[in-house]
Every structure is written in structure tokens, then in C-alpha cells.
Amino acid sequence: MIDVRLLRNDPAVVRAALARRGKPDLLEQLEHAISLDARLRDIMLERDALRQQVNGLSKEVGALRKAGDTAAEEVMAKSRALGDAETGLAAETEQVELALRDVLLRIPNLPHPDAPNGASDHDNPLVSGPHHLPTQFADHQKVPHWEIGAALGILDNERAVKISGAMFTMQRGLGATLSRALCQYALDSNADEFEEVRPPTLVTSATLTATGQLPKFADDAFFIERDDLWCIPTAEVPLTSLYAGEVLNEAQLPAKMMAYSPCYRREAGSAGRDTRGMLRSHEFDKVEILAVATPEQSPDLLQEMVKRAEKLISGLGLPYRIIEICTGDMGQSHHRSFDIEVYAPGCDAWLEVSSVSWFADYQARRADIRFKRGTQKGTEIAHTLNGSALAVPRVWAAIMENNRQADGSVRIPDVLLPYMRGTTHIVPKSE
């Protein structure tokens, strides 16, 4: 959520910042929020004045009663009348409050001043790279991973579909081992600074609202109606809410955490896209890194987290590049955001394998994560940042295609060897 007070005191700044996202209807929502806020403060003032009177009268009644004064009855009647008026105003206040909250929850975050302007993903500037990109690929590398996986007997999507329906994948044998190896690798590489967490993967609506998926993007998530729980689309969701509703001490920040989790996505808007192979599916594995921080710590943390994600991809020896997300392509909650893309010669495509973002106080305000500076009075809203350390399926696919040898085998990147039980190459099953 954006800060209502900023909207109230400096609407021009908010308008200008949101205008950069290039969605005209946003500005209408802003005006709506501004007028609701003004109205809310008016009636709250009225309501509080009434409450003050009622409170005062009630005290009087108490005193009169004690003194045995019959005037108490009169005062009670007066108070009752005021109380009725207060009830009406209170109901209205509540209504306006809810309406305002609903509008605010749907307004996206303000882009960082340094975030590049742009209308769509075509305008995302290149930050670094391409790295490790050979001048040309051999023919044996220009085979899509779904063909490689099938030939090696390590990808069995047909049976995944039999079990669970379209857009589910299944890895078998060394394919499954490779998936797990990637997770281990990502976790081990960040264990120096990040606490490993194994969070719940079913969460409440409140939790899913904190990170920004609700109320606007309910269609993108799996919902278990009977128990009123949602399947997480990323470990960002439970990790962000880990400190929800708490006041942290400044000394606890930055709190750095990481988690492996399955991720569940309905992919409602993309039916039919990327249906082959492992580029898009309803369930996949990911290792996420996340930090809760002070505003001052955040810029450096953002850079650090991009570096960490880059190091993982680079360590695998895959061709990659880093781009920055422009204002028109930014996600709802993002303040500033970088993507790492890996080139897959079989698909002939740059695949987004990691996204590192700074949310400023947008998520923390929704989640009510605050911190206290030293012995200073009062609290401040914290900042949150997170990034995929490693999203398994697309990296898995890129390894298949980039590392395919002339003999049809796939070479395991060196950094994964410790997790592969001695396997250096995945070779076709000889039958």
C-alpha cells in the first residue's frame, strides 16, 4: 500500500510517480482515494467529538449516581440520544474506511526515481551482459529441452498430465535429482548470510494480501475453498509475512531469510502459452531470498541480492544477461526490479530465471511490519526486498539445451556435481 499521508500531503508527487506506469485509470483511482480520505477525516472528526461528549456524560452519570442525585436520569437520556447519533456516524466511518482501504490495496507501488521509463517489456534496458554467450551454438545444442528430456528419459510430462492435468510437469531419475541439486546449490550458496526457512505453503487470505496478490490478482492463485487457504505462488509470500504485525528492533535488521518451496500458479492469463516443456507450469520449485530492512539499508541490499542471483547463474556457466524492469512492465508491488535471463539455444529464447525486487514500504505497510530505532519514540514501516535465487524449471531447461553434447548426453555443471551422486553426464538409457 502506498502511504495515504503522502497522497494527502503531496498528491502531485504521487500522481507524477504513478503516471510513469502508463496506466491512465490509475490516476482516477488516485482521485477517488483522495476524496475518500478527505471524507473519512471529516466524519471521523465529527464522530470523535460525539464520543467525547458521550464519554463526558457517562462520567457525570457515575458521579451523580454515587451522590444519589436524581439528575442522573436526565443526563442518561441526553447521552443516549448522542449515542444514537454516534452509532450512525460510526457505521458511516467504517464504510468509508473499508472503501478507502479497498481502493488503496489496488493501487500499485510508486516506481523508484531511477527506475527506467518505458511502456512494456520491450523497453527494459540491458544492465549487463550478455555473459558466457558463445559466438555460435552447435546443432546438437539447438534441440528443445522437452525433446532432450524425453530422449534421456528424465522428463515425463505426459504422465504428469495424466496425474494432474495440463501444465504439470514431472522429472524422473537424474532429471529429478538435477532439480533437487539446483535447490541445494542455491541454498548452500546463500547460507553464509541468509537463514534457511521451511515455511508453510498454504496461507491465509491476509497473508496473500500482504504481498500484493490479493485482492487484485485472486485469479492467478490456487484457492482451497473448504479451508479458506491459498497455495503460495512463491516463498516470498510466507517469508514476507513472517514478521507481520511485529515491531522489530533496528538491531535485528536487515533480517535475511531464504526458503526452498514449491510454487503454485494458475497461469490464468497464459493458457496455451509455453505449454511444451518446462517453461510454464502450475507447480514448480524455487529458492527465494528475502530481506526485511531499514530504508537506508535497502539500496545496497538490492545490489547484493542481484549479485547473489547472478553468481548462481554465472556459476552454472549458462549464457545470461541482466535487465532492469521499466515502469510500464513493473509488477504491482515493485519499487525497483531487476531480472536475470538465461539463453536457451534449443528454444532460441531468453528465459527469465530470476527477478530481484525492492518493494520499499509497500508490502510492509500491508503486512504491518515495523521497526524501532534505538530508544527513539515511535515506529517506522520497514522495507522488504526479495529475489528468486533460483527458479528450477527454466534453469533445468537451459542446462539441458546449453550443455547437450554431440553424443546426445547432457553434461552436469561442475558446481552441481556434489549433489549428483557421482553423475557427470546424463546419458540416454540404453535399452
- For residue 174, what is its C-alpha cell? 537424474
Question: Is the peptide bond preceding residue 130 cis, with omega within 30 degrees of 0?
Answer: yes
Check binding of 198 to RNA (CB under 7 A): no
Interaction with RNA in 234-253: which residues (CB under 7 A)?
247
Q: Of 354, 335, 352, nearest to 343 (Cα)?
A: 352
Check binding of 83 to RNA (CB under 7 A): yes
Check binding of 378 to RNA (CB under 7 A): yes
Spatial distance between the Cα atoms of 170 and 163, rounded to a whole number of angstroms: 10
Q: In angstroms, give the least distance from the CB of 231 to RNA.
A: 17
The number of residues that bind RNA (CB under 7 A) is 30
Spatial distance between the Cα atoms of 102 and 308, rounded to a whole number of angstroms: 36
Check binding of 74 to RNA (CB under 7 A): no
Q: Is 424 helix (H, G, I), strand (E, B) or coil?
A: coil
Q: Could you say which of 379, 411, 419, 427 contacts RNA (CB under 7 A)?
A: 379
- Residue pointed to by grid coordinates 504485525: 245
- Residue pointed to by grid coordinates 514476507: 240
Map residues 312-351 to x or -, x wherever contact with RNA holds by CB under 7 A: ----------------------------------------
Which residues, in sequence order, are bridge partners of residue 248? Answer: 371
Q: In angstroms, give the least distance from the CB of 222 to RNA.
A: 20
Residue 293 or 340 with smaller CB distance to RNA: 293
At residue 129, φ and ψ (nearest 5 deg) are 105, -170
Check binding of 269 to RNA (CB under 7 A): no
Residue 4 or 208 with smaller CB distance to RNA: 4
Contact present, 343 and 363 (Cβ < 8 Å)? no
Residue 132 or 373 with smaller CB distance to RNA: 373
Return the H-helix or E-strand segment holding 372: strand 370-372
Spatial distance between the Cα atoms of 138 and 406, rounded to a whole number of angstroms: 8
Q: Three-class SS string for 334-369?
A: CCEEEEEEEEECCCCEEEEEEEEEECCCHHHHHHCC
Q: In angstroms, give the least distance from the CB of 16 to RNA.
A: 22
- Residue pointed to by grid coordinates 510454487: 263
Contact present, 279 and 397 (Cβ < 8 Å)? yes
Q: In angstroms, give the least distance from the CB of 298 to RNA.
A: 20
Contacts of 241 (CB under 8 A, 6+ apart): 203, 206, 207, 210, 211, 367
Q: In angstroms, give the least distance from the CB of 64 to RNA.
A: 9
Q: In angstroms, give the least distance from the CB of 75 to RNA.
A: 7
Q: Could you say which of 19, 27, 43, 76 contacts RNA (CB under 7 A)?
A: 76
Q: Could you say which of 377, 407, 422, 431 contacts RNA (CB under 7 A)?
A: 377
Q: Could you say which of 19, 26, 43, 44 contacts RNA (CB under 7 A)?
A: 44
Q: Could you say which of 65, 106, 172, 180 contacts RNA (CB under 7 A)?
A: 65
Q: Could you say which of 41, 198, 276, 307 contacts RNA (CB under 7 A)?
A: 41
- Kindly indicate which of the ranges 45-53, 104-112, 208-216, 323-331 contains the residues binding RNA, using the contact rule CB under 7 A: 45-53
Residue 49 or 138 with smaller CB distance to RNA: 49
Spatial distance between the Cα atoms of 381 and 379, rounded to a whole number of angstroms: 7
Residues in the chain, total: 431
Q: In angstroms, give the least distance from the CB of 257 to RNA.
A: 21
Q: Is 383 helix (H, G, I), strand (E, B) or coil?
A: strand
Q: Of 244, 330, 340, 240, nearest to 290 (Cα)?
A: 240
Q: Could you say which of 35, 80, 348, 405 contacts RNA (CB under 7 A)?
A: 80
Check binding of 45 to RNA (CB under 7 A): yes
> Where does this chain bind RNA (CB under 7 A)?
4-5, 41, 44-45, 47-49, 51-52, 54-59, 61-62, 65, 76, 79-80, 83, 94, 247, 370, 375, 377-379
